[in-house]
């Protein structure tokens, strides 16, 4: 009962309780592999969801295309309606929308996703992304177009 509160440890006891570097390296390697695997799987799942929600559509009525592009309202926030005509202004845009109010109300258009020539001389609604321009009052990259 009169054992001292503090006593010395044997060197043999402390050596047996040390974690060997081989175990540390093994645990670290396994953790690293599991982490990389989890990141790869989650990015694959997210890419699949993103790709499927941004499919290009083309809806025809007879031989006429009625809708085309990617209706992604997060990417293509801006919207305009008018009659689609060929021609830009001073090299800005390949097409333009004629809208009420005269030439100052035109929206000049380019498109990286839609063939706008299929919609010439039709009243259309376009969704796109506005870009700054030097000559055009409004320059838009069209992502989605629909005949009205």
pLDDT value of residue 70: 85
Predicted TM-score (pTM) above 0.75: no
Report how far residue 50's alpha carbon sits from residue 74's, in angstroms, rounded to the nearest whole number.
12
pLDDT value of residue 124: 94
pLDDT value of residue 126: 93
Report, as ranges of residue numbers, the positions in the chain whose pLDDT lies below 50.
Answer: 51-53
Report how far residue 25's alpha carbon sits from residue 22's, in angstroms, rounded to the nearest whole number.
5
Question: Most distant CA pair in the chain: distance in Å?
Answer: 105
Q: What phi and psi, each to the nearest 5 degrees, are found at residue 18?
A: -75, 145
**19-58 pLDDT, tens per residue?**
788 888 999 999 999 999 888 888 777 665 554 445 666 6
Report how far residue 70's alpha carbon sits from residue 40's, in angstroms, rounded to the nearest whole number.
27
- Alpha-carbon distance values, 24 to 13, 17, 21, 36, 131 (Å): 20, 14, 5, 18, 55
């Amino acid at each position: 009962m009169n054992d001292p509160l503090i006593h010395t440890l044997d060197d043999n006891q402390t050596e047996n309780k040390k974690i060997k570097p081989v175990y540390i390296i093994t645990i670290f390697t396994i953790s690293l592999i599991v982490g990389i695997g989890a990141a790869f799987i989650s990015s694959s799942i997210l890419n699949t969801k993103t790709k499927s929600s941004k499919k290009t559509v083309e809806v025809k009525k007879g031989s006429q295309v009625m809708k085309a592009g990617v209706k992604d309202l997060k990417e293509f926030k801006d919207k305009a309606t008018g009659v689609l005509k060929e021609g830009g202004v001073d090299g800005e845009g390949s097409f333009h929308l004629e809208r009420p109010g005269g030439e100052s109300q035109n929206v000049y258009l380019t498109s990286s996703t839609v063939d706008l020539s299929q919609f010439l001389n039709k009243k259309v609604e376009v969704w796109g992304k506005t870009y700054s321009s030097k000559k055009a009052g409004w320059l838009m990259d069209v992502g989605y177009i629909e005949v009205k």
